[in-house]
Amino acid sequence: MTVMADYQAADYPPFAVTVDLVVLTIREDELCALVIKRGEAPYRNRWALAGGFVRPSEGLDEAARRELAEETGLTLDSVHLEQLASYGAPDRDPRMRVVTVAYLALAPDLPVPLAGTDAVAAKWEPVAQLLTEPAHLAFDHHRILTDGLERARAKLEYTPFATAFCPPEFTVAQLRRVYELVWGQRIDPRNFHRKVTGVNGLLAPTGDTTGGDGGRPAALFRRGDATVLRPPMLRG
């Protein structure tokens, strides 16, 4: 049996481990992702996903929450956060060997983020813009964003995921707009209303209605306690 020093030098090649965040929200009727402008090399002054190194004493989820709070200045009670996937191609970071654990975060409309310590700027960017130009984002972040978006699209089908984009109280129309924007397709309002109100445990009526914005007032709902959607909301 070798001693500890040999372990670290020989048997356990050292890696850096980071978390990267695909933070999605809906602003001004568009699906947006959080991007930050890097202040350090490599990819200095390029846009990238929020993220940072995992600290020695914290777990992965914990690191993701911390980075999210740092980059958005946000109480995360209302933010859904889940692990997405890990990326560790040997050449994905020119400095050294880095494995990143990507997380997917969904949030209701948030204030404009402030630049943090590692970033010179931060903003919400429509994902449509980001996807058109793969080289727009640093590292392999375009791939991570693509994977996160696909995960979000899939999860809208069989989880109450979409409610994470909404404020605590919302209307059926707001929820429908979430589906339309994430899926990128129009949905019939009448069939959607029937389906979504029929799923057990998805919506809890508050009894209140919205003040009219030109049409009939809509009933307000809160998120129900369902964790899976039965039946699921399937894309065409």
Partner DNA sequence: CCTCTTTATCGTCGTGGTGACGATAACCGA
Partner DNA sequence: TCGGTTATCGTCACCACGACGATAAAGAGG
Given the rule CB under 8 A, which residues bind a second copy?
1, 4, 7-8, 11-17, 40-41, 53-60, 83, 85-90, 95-97, 99, 101
Taking CB under 7 A as the binding criterion, the range among 7-15, 64-72, 138-146, 188-196 that sits at the site for DNA is 188-196
> What gap in Å lies between CA 88 and CA 47, rounded to an integer?
20
Could you say which of DNA, a second copy, none residue 14 binds, taking C-beta under 5 to 8 angstroms by partner kind?
Answer: a second copy
Could you say which of DNA, a second copy, none residue 195 binds, taking C-beta under 5 to 8 angstroms by partner kind?
Answer: DNA
> What gap in Å lies between CA 142 and CA 212, rounded to an integer?
41
Q: What tokens does 117 get?
A: 């310590």
Site for DNA in 202-231 (CB under 7 A): 209, 211-219, 231
Q: Which is nearer to a second copy, 85 or 173 (CB)?
A: 85
DSSP 8-state assignment for residue 139: T
CB of 183 to DNA, least distance (A): 11
Could you say which of DNA, a second copy, none residue 99 binds, taking C-beta under 5 to 8 angstroms by partner kind?
Answer: a second copy
The reply on whether position 234 binds DNA by CB under 7 A is yes
The reply on whether position 195 binds DNA by CB under 7 A is yes
Q: Which is nearer to DNA, 22 or 218 (CB)?
A: 218
Report the interhelical angle of 189-198 vs 172-183 (nearest 10°).
110
Q: Considering CB under 7 A, how many residues would be counted as binding DNA?
A: 27
Q: DSSP 3-state assignment of 67?
A: helix
19 CB burial (10 A radius; 0-12, 13-18, 19+):
buried
Could you say which of DNA, a second copy, none residue 111 binds, taking C-beta under 5 to 8 angstroms by partner kind?
Answer: none
Contact 71/22 with Cβ under 8 angstroms?
A: no
Q: DSSP 3-state assignment of 35?
A: strand
Q: Which is nearer to DNA, 90 or 214 (CB)?
A: 214
Could you say which of DNA, a second copy, none residue 57 binds, taking C-beta under 5 to 8 angstroms by partner kind?
Answer: a second copy
The reply on whether position 191 binds DNA by CB under 7 A is yes
Range 28-60 burial, b when 16+ CB lie within 10 A, else e: eeebbbbbbbbeeeebeebbbbbbbebeeeeee
